[in-house]
Chains A and B, each alone.
Chain A
Amino acid sequence: MTTAKSKRQNNFFSRNNRGPLGRLTSGFFSLPSVSPLEGFFLRLFFGLVVAYTLRFEVPFSAQPHPAGLARFFDLTWLSDPWAYSVFRGALYVLLMFYVGGLILPVALPLLALGHVLVFTLYNSQGYTHHGFQIVSLTLVAQAATVISYTALKGLRLQPPDERLNAWLLWQSQVIVAGTYLISVFSKMINTRGLWLWNSNYIAADLIKSRRQLYYGALDPKFDGNPAEAVWLLENPWIARALFGSGLILEAIAFLALANRKIGFLIGVALILMHRSIARLMGLRFDNNEMLCAIYLVGLPFLAAWCLERIANPAVRLGALIGGGLGVPLSYFAQPASVQSAMAPALYLLHLIKSLGVWHDGNMADFLRLTLPMWLTCLATAVAGALAGRLFAAVRNGYQFSNRSDG
């Protein structure tokens, strides 16, 4: 029997709650709605980021300062070019299963483990890079979600249902927002709560970063003291306000879990924060930015929303399949110079590497390689949509004639 108290409680934790605070808190307790199409785009976009992170070779034949799993296992076999090319090939195959949503209880844990192994060796050289944890951890969180879901609901090898898609989105958002919250705790612990007061000294870090960039490549554009750093050193209270606002943004990033609108605002703000850090200090966190765009800003939601405007499901599916087929087919639309320079498989890897435009902003190079792909995808998507329409018309005609005969 439902009591008045439990009714009030259920109302409070429902997304239909009308009060602003109620709507905020209820978002933490009711699953977001994720359509199968959005689930697909979430996996596709994140899969591309994972493939992009695997573009590096592994030039480390030793692990002098083992971290994580390298404390227990020798991972230096990954530095062997042949072994690594086979290993990376296997990860790409698993990624294809992941994007398709197939055999996730098998593909995701293996993918997560493979990604962790590669970057564990990277981080076992005596210097820690903080750019890849967010990707590995998202894979680990998704793998744990799929395993828990399998334990509760039984083995499912076909694409995830709406509930699993929603949990995968939520737990990925936990990792993205959580990495910023961890950073806030570290700042507070290491300075015994005085981080805001001392934050003006970060202005000296701007000069330090500039020197490091200069002495790395002796590039004259990084010579001298950046004017903004000197100005912040001269105005410590403005520096505190500026760096303090970044800290507050990191601290409230977890509110993105409550609903999509807050997630969008926080995602955009975090990307702008990273861009301003890159501008001031030359420090790039491309993977963080891309994951903010996917899981907080909601680019997959937008892509799915656009495609869902096509009312006929057969036309929509035809356009999607056609557009997808356009990617490998675009090899034949490339100029002869590209076709002679690389085999089709290598061409696909180059397309993934072209995501580097996020880092260098070189749109001319990006479009030179990808424009034939976009045009091919557009043409094949239209062809797919027409085929879908034809299929739907034939099927409807067949059903109509069957009904008439009956």
Chain B
Amino acid sequence: MPWYRLVLHTPLTTLAIFVAASLILKENYPFSHFPMYSSPTAPRAYYMVTDAEGRPLPISTITGVTPPKIGKMHWRKSQERESMARRTGKHDTAGRDEDVGREICTMLRQQAARRGQTLPQGIQLFRVEIQYDDGKIKETKQLLFAE
């Protein structure tokens, strides 16, 4: 069988096209480049929501939005603002975190309302960095936004 007929008679051809298309199109549903855990680095970060006194809130139970979703949303919104800042030349990290945090907290309130739940006044959004250093697990908490 000539090579061009072999190419048409094997699933390896569609496999190659599928892999290449997914890597090019990235996150365009239904395509994805499946980047989960593709860049392992020393500090890892997670997000948490607390009330005004800093007591953690069971955010998935109240809103249906899980901490990983909050993290992805924060990353994506920050990236969008960062690329806009690069175009305009105006960099304001504190202002960016404030805007992104406000948007996320507004969204959390909307999702809670849809489920017939209420978030307390004055919620706070934290980013916590985990690092393994000198045989110890260290966690550094950073306040991103407070209502």
Binding site for B on A (CB under 8 A): 6, 9-10, 13, 28-29, 59, 65, 67-71, 116, 119-120, 123-130, 132-133, 136-137, 140-141, 170-171, 173-175, 177-179, 181-183, 185-187, 189-191, 195, 198-205, 207-208, 211-212, 215-218, 225, 230, 233-234, 254, 257
Contact = CB atoms under 8 A, between A and B. Distances in A.
B147 interface: no
Contact of A204 (B14, B35, B130): B130
B130 A68 contact: no
Interface centre among B11, B35, B49, B61 (most CB of A within 10 A): B11
Interface of B: 1, 6, 9-12, 14-15, 18-19, 22-23, 27-46, 48-49, 56-61, 64, 66-73, 76-77, 111, 114, 128, 130-132, 135, 137
Nearest to B65: A127
Given A189-B38, A202-B37, 19 more contacts: A68-B28, A116-B29, A120-B30, A127-B68, A127-B73, A128-B27, A133-B34, A136-B29, A182-B32, A185-B19, A186-B33, A186-B34, A186-B35, A187-B38, A191-B38, A199-B40, A207-B130, A216-B58, A217-B58
Of listed A68, A186, A204, A215, residue having the most chain B CB within 10 A: A215
| Nearest 7 interchain pairs by C-beta | A216-B60, A127-B72, A136-B30, A68-B29, A201-B40, A183-B34, A127-B69
Given A204-B130, A216-B58, A216-B59, A68 B73 contact: no
B48 A215 contact: yes
A206 to B, nearest CB: 9
B27 to A, nearest CB: 5
15 contacts: A9-B1, A28-B11, A127-B70, A130-B34, A133-B29, A133-B30, A141-B18, A171-B11, A175-B18, A182-B19, A183-B36, A207-B44, A215-B67, A216-B59, A257-B12
A185 B40 contact: no
Contact of B42 (A174, A190, A201): A201
A10 B2 CA distance: 10
A126 B19 contact: no
B106 to A, nearest CB: 11
Contacts of B60: 216-217
Given A126-B72, A179-B34, A215-B46, A174 B114 contact: no
A186 B38 contact: yes
A130 B36 contact: yes
Given A189-B23, A205-B40, A126 B6 contact: no
B67 A216 contact: yes
A202 B32 CA distance: 21
A186 B37 CA distance: 9
A251 B102 CA distance: 42
Contacts of B132: 203-204, 233
B68 A212 contact: yes
B23 A29 contact: no
Contacts of A215: 46, 48-49, 56, 58-59, 67
B5 to A, nearest CB: 10
B42 A29 contact: no
Nearest to B69: A127
Nearest to A246: B37
A208 B34 CA distance: 19
Contacts of B27: 67, 123, 128
A202 B72 contact: no
Contacts of B32: 128, 130, 133, 182
Contacts of A203: 132
B29 A190 contact: no
Contacts of B34: 130, 133, 179, 182-183, 186
A200 to B, nearest CB: 8
B18 A190 contact: no
Contacts of A137: 18, 30-31
